[in-house]
Every structure is written in structure tokens, then in C-alpha cells.
Amino acid sequence: MVLQKNRIVVALGGNALQADPKDTRAESQLITAKETAKPIVDLIAEGHEVIIAHGNGPQVGQLIATYEAAAQSNENIPVMPFPECGAMSQGYIGYHLQQAIREEMFNRGLEKNIATIVTQVVVDKKDEGFQNPTKPVGSFFSEEEAKVLIKEKGYTMKEDAGRGWRRVVASPEPVDVVEAPIVKTLVEAGHVVITVGGGGVPVIDEGKGILKGVPAVIDKDFASEKIAEMLEADYLIILTAVEKVAIHFNTPQQQELSEITVTEAKQYIEEGHFAPGSMLPKVKAAMKFVESKAGRRSLITSLEKAKEGIEGKTGTIITQ
């Protein structure tokens, strides 16, 4: 079954920005982005309205580590606050995606504008994630250095698998997307939009128009689901390193799933088939979107198979 002219939110995985996890150079990211642009423009060329979201884990970590290293060598250099690093990463990743997608559209004769919106995502200050920060970010430190950061900066520091101590921050659930009305206006005007990069900059709404940035990491799949709901999207596509979701992953009993219902997905989660730091948030976000309104569908597949997945030829479709 071929589905035409849908409004689609595409959540890009880390492999869409860094082909080699060890190569964090900006130049390499731009090269990878040009390959990533091709399957995205495939969807645009089919007539779909496409909204793009992406992760930023390695990029924001690199920014933080750079500022931390500079501050250690020169006390006059301040460490950049975490929310600002998130906004910076949104900007430069968006810049690369804009360049790559614009060039690919031009090569195919598609006349569309593309823009990145530096996006703020509201979180609840009472979210349980703030009580137990778990997301490691930035550089490794010795135990002595970690104790100084705890005392002077108020950081939460944890030992990381024998490699040293790292700062950990909360990973709260998204509640609202501040710039969603702007994104919707641009999409309805026919433009391609990049938004909620890295899950968005986490902010707390303090009332009277005041938004306060907080050191936290919002899962990009959950942020993508939230903006997909708010934009009344038809499809949420979560792109990852594998073509299909599987149960009994990496065992002789591995079974790839072509189409599953929300009920079946919940059963697989209860049975522990999906890894917490990998496939689990993707499946949960896909389920949440499908449950949000009748007729909505989610697709989990690889970047290269996005167009075929929308055509129903591959990937894992989650339905009600």
C-alpha cells in the first residue's frame, strides 16, 4: 500500500550524522549529512510534508568537553552552561542538514525552502528524572576533580565504568514545544523544517512569559513524538541503524517484526525484548504517537529504507 502526501516527522538517529562514531569532525558530519539528505528528499519528492528531528549526543558532548578542557587550562574561560550548548548544537547540526538537503533538492529540481528552528521544549520541574539524573555528558574527571565540581558547581557526578567520573543530568519527559506554532506555520506554507534538535533545549515554564533553561537531556524520540502530535502529523518515522525491530535480538531466535500493534509492543516490552538505551525509547515513542489519535502510524526502520518503509515494503509499522 502506497501512502501519498502525508505529513511526516522524521527522527534521525546518530548514524545519520556520524558515519564513524570516532570521527567527530564537523567536515565529516557535513559529508554524512549529504548522504542522509537523499532518503529525506526522496520523501519530499513524493509530495510529503517533511519535518526533521535529530539527536545531538556526540555533538553536545563534544561542545561541553571542549569548554571544560578550556576552563581547566585557563580559569578566565567560563564553562558554557548546558542549555546553551544544546542550542549551539541545534544550530550547527541544523546548518549542515540545511545545506545538504537544499543541495539535494536543487539537484532534483525541487524548489522548497528549508530552515532550522532553535527549539525549546518545556519539561516539568517535578519530573522524576530530576530526582535521579542518569544521562552522562562531557569529559571524564578524576574522583578528586569530581568532588570539586560537586562542591563548586553543584554537579551530580558518577563513576563511569572504571573510566573516570562524569557529570550526569536528568532526562525528563517533554510536556510542550514552545515553537510548535511557528513550525506549523512554516510547514503549512510548504517549507521543510528542522526542529527539536537533540530533543530540544529543556526549559521550565516559570510563568509570566519566563522560560528557564535547565541542564537536562530530552530523548529525541520522545521530543519527535511530541512535535508530531502537535503538528497533527500522519506518520512518525524513527530512523535507526537496523531495517526492522526484532525480538530475541542478537540470538539464534532473532525474529524481525514487520507490523505490530500497540498491544503486542507492550507485551514485548514486558518480556524485556528492547534495550533501555537503544530500541526501547523508540518503540515507546512510536506507541505513544499511534495511541494519540485514530489513524496515526509509526514506522521504525533504517535511514536507507525510509521511502520503502512508507510504501509498506519494509521496516516495522506500529498500528493501533
Catalytic residues: 14-15, 135, 220, 282
Tell me the three cell numbers of residue 195: 526542529
CA dihedral 58, 59, 64, 68 (to 10 degrees): 80
Q: DSSP states of 23-44 as a string? A: ---HHHHHHHHHHHHHHHHHHH
Amino acid at 196: V
SS3 of residue 246 by DSSP:
strand
Tell me the three cell numbers of residue 23: 570521527
Q: Which residues pair with 192 in a beta bridge?
A: 114
**Pairing of the two strands 235-240 and 7-12:** parallel
Q: How many CA atoms lie within 13 A of 221 on its CB side?
A: 23
Q: How far is CA 53 from the centre of its chain?
A: 6
